[in-house]
Amino acid sequence: MAQTFTPRGHGAAHPPTSLGLDMRKLGMWAFLGSESLFFATLITNFFVNRSSERADYCNGLTYADLAIGLTSVGAFILLMSSLTMVLALAALRDGNRRMYRTWIVSTALLGTSFLCIQIYEFTEFALHGKGMSSNNFGAAFFALTGFHGTHVLIGVIWLFSLLFLRVGHNVKRPLEYVVGGQAGLRTHREPTDGGAGIPVELCGLYWHFVDLVWVFIFTLIYLLPMDDPCGEAHEALSAVSHLTVL
């Protein structure tokens, strides 16, 4: 008989997982570990270049240009989007698909407004000639926050795409049961989430991770104090600095 992958019927039993955990969630957490080192390296790069002693420091973006007020609004928006994200998952688990969709759309829109703030910020800096090539403080800042922004963008696309994917359609069944359990062997558990709502939870994990990175970035870039010998010169820097004061 030709070897074949054809048996696709649902009659066969499916091997339970060894840890009793969902494959996708396990993979997502391992992936987030990888992402953690990605951002750690960018943060390292920012710290190494976070110095006002370099000769070209005053040529570009400086510490005084960073707008705490505007960024605090951004941080607030991202935190709120994390809240709406967990509420979306909770609504899905409760079987309330209308609220689920509402919360997902709110999360995506909050993410979009965060992106708008960041685009505005970057544009303002660029218009004042403070770009990647002006000085390394700015370059490291753009690299770190830019990659965070890219992650937010991917998250927003992912969130919107959830609306078009069929998720959580079998959520209202009892979730836990045990199979296997031969004498002397460890009991194997079926993945207890049963796949329902997992796509949303995965997107949520990613989204919260992106929020988490912003928690670190917010403190490490914007709040940690730093001497800025040329801060005074930029007092007139348009709307960005108007928002500097809360």
Angle between helices 97-127 and 198-217 (to 10 degrees): 30
Q: Going by DSSP bridges, is the β-strand pair 178-179/188-189 parallel, antiparallel, or unpaired?
A: antiparallel
Q: How far is the CB of 116 from another protein (least distance, A)?
A: 20
In sequence order, what E strands does the chain have? 178-179, 188-189
Residues 115-134, one symbol each (x = binds another protein by CB under 8 A, - = not), give ----------------xxx-
Give the binding range for another protein (CB under 8 A) out of 27-35, 104-112, 117-125, 233-241.
27-35
Q: Which residue has the tokens 């403070």?
A: 130
Smallest gap from residue 124 Cβ to another protein (A)? 18
CA distance 35 to 41: 10
Among 66, 67, 70, 95, the residue binding another protein under the rule CB under 8 A is: 95
* Nearest-approach distance from CB 65 to another protein, in angstroms: 16
Residue given tokens 């730093």 in the structure block: 226
Q: Please give the Cα distance from 53 to 55 (Å, whole number).
A: 6
CB under 8 A: which stretch of 82-90, 107-115, 119-127, 228-236 binds another protein? Answer: 82-90
Q: How far apart are CA 28 and CA 212, in angstroms?
A: 15
Binding residues for another protein restricted to 188-207, rule: CB under 8 A: 188-196, 198, 204-205
* Closest approach of another protein to the CB of residue 195, in Å: 4
